[in-house]
Chain A
Amino acid sequence: MKKIIPLIFLFTLILTVSANAQIDRSRPPEPGPPPVIHIGEYETFTTDNGIRVIVVENRTVPVVSFQITLDIDRILEKDAKGYVSMAGELMRTGTSNRTKQQIDEETDFLGATINTHSRGMFGSSLTRHAESLLDLMSDILLNPTFPQQELERSLRQSKSALSTVRTDASSMVNNVSSVLVYGSDHPYGEITTEETLENITIEKCREYYETYFKPNVAYMVVVGDMDVETAEELIDRFFSGWEPGEVPSHKYETPQPPDGRRVAFANRSGAVQSVISVTYPIQLTPGHPDAISTSVMNSILGGGVFSGRLMQNLREDKGYTYGARSSISTDPLAARFNARTEVRNSVTDSAVTEILYEMERLRNEPVDDETMDLIKNFMTGSFARSLESPQTVANFALNIERYDLPDDYYTTYLERLNNVSVSDVQKMARRYLLPDNAYIVVGGNRNEVAETLEKFSISGDVEFFDPFGNRLVDTGQAVPEGLEATDVIDKYIDAVGGRRNLEKIEDITIEMEASMQGMSIQTVTHQKAPNKYYSSMSMSGNILQEQIFDGEKGVIKMPQGEMNLDDEMIKQMKLQFTMNIELYYEEMGFELELDGIEAINGVSAYKINITGPGNIKRTDHFDVETGFRVQTTVTEQSPMGEITQITTYSDYRTVNGLKFPFRMMQQAGPQSIDMEVTNIKINQGLSDELFSPE
């Protein structure tokens, strides 16, 4: 079956034509008559094993690309979220005929590009290498082996990448929004976490591939310097061995906007800016009759142009932000409205007010003609420019096939864009802008911002979430009457073994295995009462850094040289390395302040601000239930501005009757180190020589 669909129509700009002879530089010239737009042609056919092929022939340059897209339902990944994209990534790392090295070598030799992902693959090369390219692509598509060591390498990278979420308000807002808008039992609402990564196995990846990579659900889009006959012959030669099979389908509940406005907050300690998202689900499938007029409406509110109302209001008028935008997607499964900006803490609530105001205004007031013209011109121009790439034509064709759109959907696009009226825009605003049924999701400084947002919530409450979109237990919890900071510290001391037992520690050795950016580091620390300290960090047997302190003087040794400590540092270290300093807060002149209860990684924790001699300032959090320390936050000035270092403690285990956290995660800016204790030894009688800086 072949069909040829010619796509031609008039480029209708809303502009008048006039000729002028004498040059007048004081005004912009009138545009010429609207040019004719030719969208380009495509052909389709279906192979014997069911691949639906779309060919867009374009001879501008001797290059051809092949894109395979699987038309399959999204699947729920549950406690192994992330395995589907992992399966796609691993396809390219080995086949039954080729190692990763061989795949790299052959791809480079062709000067080609090959990518794989969970819903298909892409390859491109000069036309004369097309056969070799397809040979490689078909081997990758049909015979992947999913090597275990490649999974491990990739997991290490994913974990490093994921660790930055805890300090990135923007990722937090993405996670919380996804969970709220789609629900956590919807494929778009699932969040990848360290725990779900742990559950990814080669078997799961392989099973995904074996179930879903079938020709009868595949589109193959051929774009460039190749005619349909050649494409047909080559696809038959390289992909006829791809066995069809039944592919399961999945249905999901359609997400609904909330009954009344809700406010969700994710805390990013020390943030000076808030990330704001006003968002909710909508139903707008590709090709929906409202799609074009809604897209005009959204462009007026906060679309691509600089002149969007959110940008004008929040940036140009109020100076709250560098940028503010909105988007309305179309999606076959679940679409979404999202208005987003980043503003400084003090204007967070004002910014929300202005976003809601602009949504209301578009619902209530007709748009002026000048704005309509500017937006339509911009959208017409973007459409026309996009047509320079044959890939655009291919995408149009693919959309027509996949979403069952009318054949003239894109040829009549500009005509329909031009026909969108002022009253259409208002109608769409009333239908799709729901300021009263939105989630207001904010990531930022809880202490400074959260309370100011209560007024937007229909219930009057702000709901709190962790960085991965898990709802936090009620943290509106008040500190019990009469409880003081010293009580919290005493409870901690009791929880980890009691004052008498802690005082008996003469020396202690802790060995840890740390991973940073996917690389593994070994650390050993020795500590001896009252404040002697030694630590070393090494990687594959090479020492990266040693720190030695005998209570009076010390040194830091690194491969690039030694650093002696100045008086200020020595003063700090005397305190820092004091064995179990919590026992001596009072006599050493520390000041403690109990600053409420906060949720830390899903548990309620007392927040204690600690100020000590020599400018020591830090915040510790202690689990309300168990008394254990769960987090330490230290903020320091550096040449790059303020750096906040957060250490979280978990997995407390018993050693010699005392409790120690066996897992620590340390985060400073984009860097994060994940540490696991492998061994703790107490009172071995460490000699003083170990701590001698000489």
Chain B
Amino acid sequence: MRKLLILKILICLAGHTLLQAQATRIDFVEYTLDNGLHVILHKDNSTPVVAVTMMYHVGSKNENPERTGFAHFFEHLMFEGTKHIERGEFDRYVEGAGGTLNAYTSFDLTYYFELLPSNQLELGLWLESERLLHAKVDSVGIATQKDVVIEEMKQTRDNQPYGRLLAETLSRAYTKHPYRWDVLGKEEHIRYAEDHEFSEFHSMFYVPENAVLTIAGDIEIEETRKLVAKYFADIPRGRHEIYRPEPVEPVRTAEVRDTVYDNIQLPLVLQAYHIPAQGSDDYYAVDMLAALLSRGESSRLHRSLVDEQQIAMMVQAMPLGLEHPGLAIIYAMPNIGTDPETLEAAINKELEKVRNELISEFEMQKVINQTENSFVNSNRTIASRANNLATYHTIFKDANRINTELSKYMEVTRDDIQRVANRYFREDNRVVLYFLPEPEN
């Protein structure tokens, strides 16, 4: 049970970091239709399967502060049906064709995909073009999904032990930037939103110039181009300027420290350090520093806190790599009998060590090996390649990062690790939160 909880935390923090690249080159074709829809085609005929995917450049950071949770709400609404697809039929078309489907929302983007037998490519294009052109933003669908999404907030966040971890961290780490609320958003914002507000959100963000259509798998490029044109070329551009927040957040000059009481059994200590945006030069070193601290049972924090001192049940360090400057989060749960202060002191001691001493050649090589291994494994399936191509295009306007990212990591030196430890993992650049069990009554 406890194990499950930890896993949950990992998942909600893991978010959508871009730890993807590959040793072998991934070829693709890309172009933009007149209406602004970007198209990426990746051909791999080894299995007769095709991934048809749409990524919209809209996430929780594009929301009105008074209407948080809208981007995620749309992810649900987009399965409700369209002008030509009855409620509940979306799933049946895909499964009846032998396929499968799903979607997710993050701080920066929203992603939909169908995985189909390759002779059903056109079905996938029809479904996604319907979603863009004819999505049903009507009162029945909105009312149904309001209930479902509010239930989801309760189940996965508000009533879940440690479920509010990320939301409580963000609201203290950011003061101006829309990263200050989480992807699920506020319950009352969804509850009291009126139908026309949803229509407005759709007409601003669900437009071809704000999307990338990525098709990967068993396709022929020329034929696919024609089909894409058939279903998408006549979809009109949007009529509104798309709202994109500036990456503004005042520089931190002092530590923020707070205590949150929650319905939990064991305390949790969390530190969040401001780090640069994903894809910036220092980001790669920060990511590898996090691996040094907590990837694998021989990592520094795990060995010291869990195995040797036995003061922690678990410890984890991970960067929340985002389009705008994000956070590196370290969190740990003490064994019974260890107070949070002791645990935090032990974490600080390990951080101090990285700041003051150059890491060994051996450890550097270990982190390089781990990074390379996880890279290579992250592009194994056509579904993951489609997702990665779409994300690199959406965030960096450079889908070819799928081929160049790994070399960025390989350029990181031991000095870089020490340098970013000193630059970002500082007391005045962090939020520290103690999550403590609510006192009885």
A388-B382, A559-B339 known; A381 and B126 CB under 8 Å?
no
The 0/1 profile, CB within 8 Å of A marked 1, for residues 16-52 of chain B is 0000001110000000000000000000001111000
Asked if A23 is at the interface of the complex by the 8 Å CB criterion, the answer is yes
B69 to chain A, nearest CB (A): 22
A28-B93, A112-B373, A374-B96 known; A23 and B49 CB under 8 Å?
no
The 0/1 profile, CB within 8 Å of B marked 1, for residues 23-38 of chain A is 1011111111111111
In the complex, identify which listed stretch (B182-190, B363-371, B391-399) lies at the interface while the others stay far away: B363-371
Asked if B407 is at the interface of the complex by the 8 Å CB criterion, the answer is no
For B91, the chain A residues whose CB sits under 8 A away are 306
Tell me if B440 and A378 are in contact (CB < 8 A): no
Tell me if A560 and B436 are in contact (CB < 8 A): yes
For B436, the chain A residues whose CB sits under 8 A away are 560
Tell me if A35 and B441 are in contact (CB < 8 A): no
For A164, the chain B residues whose CB sits under 8 A away are 1
In the complex, identify which listed stretch (A56-64, A208-216, A327-335, A345-353) lies at the interface while the others stay far away: A56-64
A111-B372, A126-B372 known; A61 and B366 CB under 8 Å?
no
A381 contact from B92, B99, B373, Cβ within 8 A: B99
- Closest A-chain residue to B366, C-beta based? A109
Tell me if B117 and A13 are in contact (CB < 8 A): yes
Candidate in B125, B336, B365 with the most chain A CB atoms within 10 angstroms: B336
Tell me if A519 and B121 are in contact (CB < 8 A): no
Residues 107 to 140 of chain A near chain B (Cβ within 8 Å): 107-112, 125-126, 129
B120 contact from A31, A36, A108, Cβ within 8 A: A31
In the complex, identify which listed stretch (A237-245, A482-490, A538-546) lies at the interface while the others stay far away: A538-546
A28-B126, A560-B439, A640-B263 known; A378 and B48 CB under 8 Å?
no
Tell me if A539 and B337 are in contact (CB < 8 A): yes
B97 contact from A31, A105, A307, A671, Cβ within 8 A: A31
Tell me if A63 and B298 are in contact (CB < 8 A): no
A519 contact from B47, B115, B125, B335, Cβ within 8 A: B335
For B200, the chain A residues whose CB sits under 8 A away are none
Q: How far is the CA of A560 from the CA of B335 in the complex (A)?
A: 16
Tell me if B380 and A561 are in contact (CB < 8 A): no
B136 to chain A, nearest CB (A): 14
The 0/1 profile, CB within 8 Å of A marked 1, for residues 82-100 of chain B is 0010000001110111111
Asked if A385 is at the interface of the complex by the 8 Å CB criterion, the answer is yes
Interface size class of A (residues with CB under 8 A): 35 or more
Asked if B422 is at the interface of the complex by the 8 Å CB criterion, the answer is no
Asked if B119 is at the interface of the complex by the 8 Å CB criterion, the answer is yes
Q: How far is the CA of A108 from the CA of B307 in the complex (A)?
A: 15
Tell me if A306 and B377 are in contact (CB < 8 A): no
Asked if B129 is at the interface of the complex by the 8 Å CB criterion, the answer is yes
Asked if B374 is at the interface of the complex by the 8 Å CB criterion, the answer is yes
A105-B298, A381-B98 known; A517 and B2 CB under 8 Å?
yes
Asked if A228 is at the interface of the complex by the 8 Å CB criterion, the answer is no
Asked if A101 is at the interface of the complex by the 8 Å CB criterion, the answer is yes
For B119, the chain A residues whose CB sits under 8 A away are 11, 13, 15, 31-35
Q: How far is the CA of A27 from the CA of B127 in the complex (A)?
A: 10
Tell me if A11 and B373 are in contact (CB < 8 A): no
The 0/1 profile, CB within 8 Å of B marked 1, for residues 504-535 of chain A is 00000000000011010100000000000000
A110 contact from B2, B218, B369, Cβ within 8 A: B369
Tell me if B377 and A63 are in contact (CB < 8 A): yes
For A35, the chain B residues whose CB sits under 8 A away are 48, 117-119, 218
A61-B22, A519-B335 known; A671 and B49 CB under 8 Å?
no
A387 contact from B47, B335, B374, B377, Cβ within 8 A: B47
Tell me if B47 and A384 are in contact (CB < 8 A): yes
Asked if A670 is at the interface of the complex by the 8 Å CB criterion, the answer is yes
A25-B126, A31-B119 known; A108 and B439 CB under 8 Å?
no
Asked if A305 is at the interface of the complex by the 8 Å CB criterion, the answer is yes
A13-B119, A28-B126, A108-B298 known; A384 and B376 CB under 8 Å?
no
Tell me if A60 and B337 are in contact (CB < 8 A): no
Asked if B409 is at the interface of the complex by the 8 Å CB criterion, the answer is no
Asked if B123 is at the interface of the complex by the 8 Å CB criterion, the answer is yes
Q: How far is the CA of A36 from the CA of B2 in the complex (A)?
A: 47
Asked if A685 is at the interface of the complex by the 8 Å CB criterion, the answer is no
Q: How far is the CA of A617 from the CA of B226 in the complex (A)?
A: 72
Asked if B122 is at the interface of the complex by the 8 Å CB criterion, the answer is yes
Tell me if B23 and A61 are in contact (CB < 8 A): yes
The 0/1 profile, CB within 8 Å of A marked 1, for residues 259-292 of chain B is 0000101000000000000000000000000000
Interface contacts beyond A380-B98, A384-B49: sample of 11 additional A-B pairs, CB < 8 Å, sorted by A: A26-B84, A31-B117, A62-B376, A107-B298, A109-B298, A109-B366, A111-B371, A125-B373, A307-B96, A544-B337, A558-B439
A selection of 15 A-B contacts at a CB cut-off of 8 Å is A13-B98, A32-B121, A32-B122, A62-B24, A129-B369, A164-B1, A378-B98, A384-B117, A385-B100, A387-B47, A519-B336, A539-B337, A544-B337, A563-B439, A638-B263
8 tightest CB-CB pairs across the interface, nearest first? A381-B98, A111-B373, A539-B337, A108-B296, A35-B48, A32-B119, A104-B297, A670-B1
